[in-house]
Structure formats: C-alpha cells, structure tokens
Chain A
Amino acid sequence: MASNNISNLNRRRILQGIAATGAVGLAGCLNGENGEADVDVDDALERNEVDIDAIQEGGRLEFALPRDSIDDYDWADSSAAEDSVVFDTVYDGLTTADSTGETHLWMAEEYEPAEANDVSVEDYAEYMVEMEPESVEDGVPSFDLDENNLVIMQHPDDEPEEGEPMRVLTRDEAADAVEDGTFGIRLEGRLHEGIEFHNGEEVTAENVVRSYDRFVGSVNEGQWFDSFLHATAPDGDDGYTFELYAQEADAAAYLELPPYIFPSEHFDVPAGDLDPRDDGDMVPVGTGPYEIAEFEEGSRLLLERTDNYWVEEVGLENIPWYDGPEDFPERPAIEEINIRFVDDSAGRSNALEDGDVDIAYELPSEARNNFHSSESFAVSANPAFGFKFMQFPVEDTDEGGAFAQREVRQAVSALIPRQQIVDLVEQGWGDPARAPIPEPASGMGTAMDYEDLESQDWAYNVEPDPEEAEALLEEAGLERPVEVTVETNSDDEERIDKMELVVDQLNESGLFDAELETPAALGDWTAELYEDGARHDSAERNAAAVIGLAGTPDPHGFHQVLHHPRMHNGCCNFFFPEGALPEEFIEQMESCRFGVDVAEDPDTRRQAYDEFWPEVADLSANVIVDYSLNTGTVSNDVVGFNVHPQTQAILRYALYNPADQQITYLDR
C-alpha cells in the first residue's frame, strides 16, 4: 500500500509538472546529470554564517513577495500577512526574536512585568459608566463615542438591548481604574534614548502611548483591545519610560501588548488612511532599518536603507544582551530592497531561476528541491510556528456523531502517518508533530527539553499504530468500520496529498471507512464552516476538518484559537461554541495564560503548560499533524541568508538581527 501511495503521488507530481508549470520541468535542468533531486534537508537547516570582514555594503536586493500588491500600507489596519513581511523592515518593535524564537529587548532598554493582580470584569464595575447603544446587531452593541475612544469591556450581567443603557468601560474610564490600582498586569519599560523615526523625530514614551489610538476603528481593533487596558508615560510625554496595562493578569501580555510605534504626525490619522497610493503625504514612517522610497500601484515598491537607523546611534554595546563581536555592523549591509510582486509560485520559481529576483519563498516543493540541489542556488530552512491540524466536530448527533467520543478522535490520531506525510509529501521539508507545540514556541511552553516533551507517553505517534486505534475503538463500542470524512480545502495540492495518505491509512486499518472531500478553496470553505448548521452537519457526517495555521511565539497561539469558545466561528475554531468542550479543560487552558502566578513567573507558566499538554492530547478535539519548516531560496549572489520561524519576519530577520549575528549582503 505504501508503494502504491508513492506511485500515486509521483503520477500526480508529474501531471502537475506538465500541466501547471514549465518551471518544474525546466528547473530539472538545474540539477546534476540524472536530473533527479536528492533532498537533504539537514544542510538547509544549518546556519549560513558570515565573515564580518567580507561583508560588502550596498546593492539592490530583489525580493519576491507572494502577493500581487500591498493590501494595506497602514499596518495598524492591515490583515494581510504578506504586508507584514514588508513592514517589519519599516517598523522596529520594543522587542525582537532570534531564530529559536527567544525574545530579546530591542528598542526597549528595559521592559518587564512589574505587577500583576487577579482581577475580573466585576472588579472594573465601579469604574463603568452607563451608556445606551446606538444599535445592537447579532447581540453586539455599537456606541457613538469620541474619536480614539472605544468600549473595552461591558458588564457581564448587562445584555445589550437597543434603547436600554448598559454598563461599559471605555478607554476614558480605564485610565481611572488604572490610577486606582485596578488592572491585571503592569509592564514597565524604558526606551533607549536617541531613537529616531525616519523623519528625524525622536521616539519618546508618548509615541508608545499614543500609538494605540491608531488601532481604534481598525480591522485589528479586537485583537489589540482584547487584552489592552491602558498605557501611560510616567515621566511625561517627552520621557522614555512607559507603562502598559492589561485587563487581566495575562502572561502573554509581555509579547502581545506592545504596539507598532508611530510618529506623532500619524497619531490622529484614522485607521486605514495611512496609504501613500491615495495621498502621497501618507507614507508610513517607522524606526526600522528601511524606509519607503518609491511605490506604485501594484507593481513597484522600493525600500531604501535609512541613514539614521537607531542602532547606529545607540550602539550595539549599549544593548544589554548583546555579546557578539565588537565589529558586528550596526545596520544592514544592503542598500535597497526592491519588492517584486509575484503572486504565482511558478512565477516566483521562474523569476528566481531567471535572475529577476534574488530571494523567493513559498515555492512549489519540486522547484524548491531542484533549487536545493543546484550549485547556483541555496535553500535555508528553520523550524517554524506554522502547523497543520485536524479538528473534530464533537457534537453528539443522532446520525453520525462518532467524534463525540474522544476514543474515536484518539483512534484517528493514532492512525495519522505523520512521518510518512513529511517524508513523502513534504519530502523532508517539515517535522512530524509529536508535541502540541513546535520547538520554536517551546521556550515558554514547557519546562522540559523539547526532546523530552516529544517522548512523553501521551505524545502523538509518528507511525500509525493500528493496535492502539483498535483498542480505542473497542473502548468506544462503535460498529466498525466507522464511516468518517476528512475535509480540507481544494486549493492546496500538498495538503490534499497529505490527507490522501491519512485516508488511505484509515481505510487500510479496516477500522474506518474514510473518504476525502475538498469542498472548496480555503476562503470559501471556511466561510461555509461558519454558517449556521454547518457544525451540526459536520458532526452528522463525521467530517473532520484539516487546515493550517501560522502559530505565534507564545504557546497560547497554538490552542486558544483552536479551542476557546470566544474564537468560535473565527480562525480557527469551527466546532466548539460555549459548552462544546469540558469547562475544566477551558479553565485549565486559560490558567496557563491568565493569573498572577503564571504572569509573574515564567517557570510557573511552563509547569502549567506541562500539565495542560497531556489534557490536549487526551481530549484530541484538535490534533496536530505536522509542523512546517520555513524555507527561503536565494541565488548565490546573496550571502548569509537565514530563515526565521515566523514567515512575516523572513525578510527583516535575514537583513539584520544582532541576536544571532545575522546579516545578509550581496556579492555581485
């Protein structure tokens, strides 16, 4: 069966190569004599080190972005991941992350949790004001508030009703609460002195505090104000000290509260209006190593290295954690970055091979393998935060409803051929999932070594275990074979190939009668899953959904979005509204993130997660299939390129990051 699977996949690959892209066939010309690609991922995982003395300054880097244009130049309002790839070079943050996912101070000279309190919404009640909603849609009230103000929380006992006042806390009242000591966590920080924006304005605490104004009314408003309570500048607007407050004692606040920092000229620009295509004066201005030099609708974006980069001003020696070489540069080496918009993956392959671009990512697997085997190109890889997961509808329905029993879910998980998926479909460019978090996110997610976490009794198996699956189904008492459906989106060939292996394995075991369905492209399919009745329908059909997600450096990004009822009908909780999952599970999950003990002590948090991960594996409402490797392919003109775990940081990290002595230069 395994060999049939291999031959089926090869036929599909051949057909793809003929029908879909000439680059696949032509890329074979890059290889050695026999035209076959020998894939050895290990050397791609090795870091490309740079000899500081050999660094060449200047040059223009051609970077292929997998989009046809910048969606939204206003980073406060953008929801497109690819926009972040570009704007990460324009805006620096209070912290930065190295290639292992570890966080380091960056624009902040000091930044740490200072005080945490166990508070709940009721504790804010005395500060709430009564306000009548202007309208109520789908149970969500909207209020007529002044600019830059919004409702942060509402009293849980007050149901929104048109014409009826309800108790709410807005940003104005939040300041009062904070003054009285009612807050979840306070994070104190201090900026380096002398940091300038591209326009020459010095960054002060006011920039940190006022930047939150820009998120009011933005598409990302909910994300920011879900946790954020208030920000202050204790030493005044011209000072460098800032305090950030979260609504609850939130261990994730350290990473998630700091805003993108805007200059004063943009404080009052409404969200979405900071776009130079409509107003040439509205050019994004940040503190990053690059600024926007030229742009044109859909076809051109040129970034130029700024001549007042703050690291040169402050000096690497004044960055407390830096212990690298004294002569490591204090700015990127490359002078210009020309962003080339190439939406199609075959087009990016062609452009890279043709020399029109120097760096490309998200290439077709075959093309990437061929580039990797070629002497004229190099592929860099790094374990990433991205993952594929299978989510089960747990509703107990009259018809179907098999996945209401955790034994059935566990049985399916036991049969997922995780290693085979990585070997055959990803051809080594991935990691089979053993633990519920990937290695780059394990720093805050476990007190164990990652290898120990992967070898726990409850860890996911990488090879199918039919015996265990059979025992589990025996426990469940269901008639076999159990009819199940595996659903995934129709516009991802690799994902479909993976699920074909899963379905084949389920059927081969004799325990399941499985079929694969690909209802629609990703956006359409997930929209269908959000519709009324879709959850029930999936439960009746025993249809598990398989999808991918980019995780976050914080462990909660791997399970909160998948399990929490608040994320139901959002990305990516399709099946678990309030009450669908055991309350104690949700509470335990929340206790790993919220609470004074975990907010104040990272070790306590790690231990909390170590107690939580077995519950995740046992409940198996979501099971992880595999973890991604981020890869980037470069021409030989590009020296020192290495990839970051976060796709959004692929360009920024490669250009310059002293945390790993990471710098890329052009040799041509």
Chain B
Amino acid sequence: MSLQKFILRRILASVPVLIGVSIITFGLMQLAPGDVVDHMIAANPNVQPGEAARLRQEYGLHEPIWAQYLDWMQGVLTGDFGEVYSSSRDASAIVRARLPETLLLAAFGWVFAILIAIPGGIYAAINKDQLGDDVSRVFALSGISIPNFWLGLMLMALFAVYLDWFPTLDPQTGLLSREMLWWLILPGITIGTAASANLMRIMRTSMAEEINKEYVTAARAKGLPKRTVYLKHVLRNSLISVTTVAAFLTASLVSGSVVVEVVFGWPGLGRELIQAIQLREINLILIITLLTGVVIVLANLLADIVYGLLDPRIRDEY
C-alpha cells in the first residue's frame, strides 16, 4: 500500500473514533449535575428562575438528549460548532483564538522533552549502572512523580517572583515575540518535565537493550568507533520504542496543558476547557475534546510514518 493510501485509510478510520469520543463526552456531561442554565442562575441572582424555561428553549436544551446531540452533529457537518451560551459567542471562534497558544505550549513542551530525554537516555544507557545512570534515574523518577501543578508553582515562585528572572504575567507582546517566548519557558518546562522523564527512561532501556545485541559486538569488533556504533546504528534501532511513547505523550502534553495553563495564566484552550466544564458549556467542551482527539490521531499517524522512515521493513507493510 502506498503511503498516501495508508494515510487516507488512517484518517478515515479515525472518524468513528472521534464520533465515539463526542458521544462519550456528550453523555458524560449529561450525567453531571445541572446544565448551563442552572449555572447561570446559580451564579447570578439577576437571572431569575422563571427565566430558566425560556433560556433552555432558546438554547435547545429542552429537547431530548439524543435530539440535542444530532442537532449538534448536524451543525458540525456544516462547520457550525454551536454557541457558548454564557457569552453568546461561537465556540469555534474561541477555539480559533486560543488554539495557537496551546499548540505553542505543547510544542515547546514536546521539544523540551525530546531535547532532554534523547541525550539523557543515551548517556544513561552508555553509562549503565554507573553514576550517570543513577542520576538520570533520580531525575526520571522525580519528573514522573512530581505533580505538574506543584512544579509549576514552585518554578514560578522561585524564578519569577523571588529571582524575578521571568514575568509572572503575559507580557502582551504577541505570540512569537521574544518576551512571550521567554515567558513560555517556565510553563514549557513544567509541561515537558514529566514527558521528558518518561521518554528518558524508555530511551535508556531501549538503547541498553540494543547495545547488548550481537551486531553491536560485531561492529565494535570490526573496529568501528563507539560513537559511530551508538549514534548511527544503535540509536536508530532504539528510536522505534521512543517514537511510540512520544506519540502517546502528545496526549499527556495536551491534557497536561490544562493544569499548566491555569497555574501560569497561559491564555490557551486549557483554561477555556476548565471554565467550560464548570459552566457546563457543552458546545465548547465538545469542540475542544474533538480537537484534542484529532491532535492525538495525527500524532499517532505521524508516529507510524516515522516508523517507516526508521525501519524500511515497516515501510513495506503500508
């Protein structure tokens, strides 16, 4: 099968997955107490209880649940992702406005994770059972164990408040400005730390296994320098496992961005999602959830493509 056909088949296969995600999300939100009108009334005495029926009718919330879902799905097929009731705005407009920030944060976290994990894992594998390996193990365990919200708060308290090396708030200078990218460092490190710890362990384990294989012994016996053996041969074979985990980590980076955005006040989709859940803004919840699903599907697709680049045998199986 050609690569194009493979990609098309994977994309088509993801459609029922995304529909399933939307049904589950929609259903779960129906189980939560109250709806958006209840929360409007609860939060604001100006919205009187007698208005509840009128508002529900206006928002279509008086319809049966299945009818509401079909109505939403119909809108999605025409590009209308519904309204955020509390602000009378299109859900898609909010997502369009906030998506770049979230993607930038996730991308930074991903790059940080790779830049730490790959060299760190290689070093640990080469220095297996020595001090370097022990240090990496401690770092990995810490990175996995420390809650990212606590890490973020501590980084902010130390580097932003106490040392004043970083701003505590959005510098308001444009997404790709130098000031904004500087502000991005702390949340990016926060979101990337757990991912880098995970990846580092996988890199280390995978590479250590490869180093013990016979072809490595043969290559060394042939007189190839260690550096060439490890970086040209061993590393490439080790990366397949790492690629798999890296794809999965995309999901954790996207979901982790929710907490990190709240801690740092990063103006991304994560904060919007938190508020949408609190207010039961079902349309916004659905579009963000769907978007997350699409990102994960694409990440896995990319991983499969990278497999083919790393291992020609896999490429032949497309």
Q: Which residues of A contact B (CB under 8 A)?
A: 19-23, 25-26, 29, 68-69, 71-72, 74, 77, 79-81, 135, 137-140, 142, 217, 219-223, 226, 271-273, 275, 277-278, 296-300, 338, 340-344, 346-347, 350-351, 353-354, 356-357, 520-524, 526-528, 530-531, 549, 557, 561, 566-572
Contacts and interface: CB of A to CB of B under 8 A. Distances in A.
Contact of A523 (B42, B156, B169): B42
30 contacts: A21-B153, A22-B161, A29-B162, A69-B267, A71-B87, A72-B87, A140-B53, A142-B57, A219-B47, A219-B51, A221-B51, A221-B54, A222-B48, A222-B50, A223-B48, A226-B48, A298-B98, A340-B170, A346-B153, A347-B169, A523-B38, A523-B279, A526-B34, A527-B38, A530-B34, A531-B34, A566-B49, A570-B45, A570-B47, A571-B41
Interface stretch (B8-16, B88-96, B114-122, B187-195): B88-96
Most central of B53, B154, B279 by chain A CB within 10 Å: B53
B88 A299 contact: no
Contacts of B264: 347
Contacts of B44: 79-81, 571
Contacts of A68: 265, 267, 271-272, 275
B169 A357 contact: yes
B125 to A, nearest CB: 36
A354 B93 CA distance: 33
A139 B53 contact: yes
Given A79-B40, A350-B160, 6 more contacts: A22-B161, A80-B44, A81-B44, A343-B265, A356-B169, A566-B48
Contacts of A526: 34, 38, 42
Contact of A572 (B40, B45, B51): B45
A137 B43 contact: no
Contacts, number: 197
A530 B49 CA distance: 10
Interface residues of B, number: 60
A521 B32 CA distance: 12
Contact of B45 (A299, A342, A521, A561): A561
Interface string B140-160: 000000000010011011101
B49 A527 contact: no
Contacts of B226: none
Contacts of B38: 523, 526-527, 530
B57 A137 contact: yes
A72 B158 CA distance: 35
A273 B51 contact: no
A22 B156 contact: yes
Interface string B41-85: 111111111111111111000100000000000000000000000
Contacts of B150: 19
Contacts of B98: 297-298
B265 A277 contact: no
A342 B169 contact: yes
A570 B48 contact: yes
A70 to B, nearest CB: 8
B164 interface: yes
Interface string B250-278: 00000000000011110100011001001
B86 interface: yes
A248 to B, nearest CB: 16
Nearest to B39: A523
A353 B42 contact: no
A524 B32 contact: yes
A79 B168 contact: no
B4 interface: no
B263 A138 contact: no
Contact of A219 (B55, B57, B265, B279): B55
B225 interface: no
A354 B164 contact: yes
B167 interface: yes
B33 A527 contact: yes
Nearest to B172: A300
Contact of A275 (B39, B56, B58, B87): B87
B34 A527 contact: yes
Nearest to B86: A71
B157 A26 contact: yes
A357 B265 CA distance: 14
Contacts of B263: 344, 347
A350 B157 contact: yes
Contacts of A570: 41, 45, 47-50, 52
A169 B299 CA distance: 59
A392 B272 CA distance: 35
B176 interface: no
A561 B45 CA distance: 7
A217 B55 CA distance: 9
Contacts of B51: 219, 221-222
B97 interface: yes
A572 B40 CA distance: 12
Most central of B45, B47, B56 by chain A CB within 10 Å: B45
Nearest to A298: B267
Q: Closest 9 interchain pairs by CB? A: A22-B157, A527-B34, A272-B88, A570-B49, A297-B97, A140-B53, A526-B42, A222-B51, A222-B48
A528 B33 CA distance: 6
